[in-house]
Amino acid sequence: MKIYHNPRCRKSRETLQLIQSKKVEPEVVLYLEKIPTKKEMKDLLKKLNLKASELIRKTEAVYKEQYKNKTLTESQWIDAMLEHPKLIERPIVVKGDQAVLGRPPENVLRLL
């Protein structure tokens, strides 16, 4: 199991804590420091069954300043997330070929 984690995010911390409470120690990926590759992002989106635009944090300043009201292709949204990883909604928890968004944290229970 792997969690794409931002320790400054309350929901991300809650999700990690929930996983650990079930006696599972996931691989923690600090995605703001170790930015996923384009291939990894495409793989995550496939596992989440989401379009790139659905994984964008629309409350982030960079979104409001650079992307709000713009129509981008799937590839362009992925590029935007890789250029500005803060745009990636978090946390993302992956187990095998499945992934869930830890919002709410209880979503992760489907993978445990």
Answer yes or no: are the C-beta atoms of 41 and 66 closer than 8 Å.
no
The two structure tokens encoding residue 26: 């996931």
Catalytic residues: 9
Burial 76-102 (b: 16+ CB within 10 A, else e): ebbebbbebbebbbbbbbbbeeebbbb
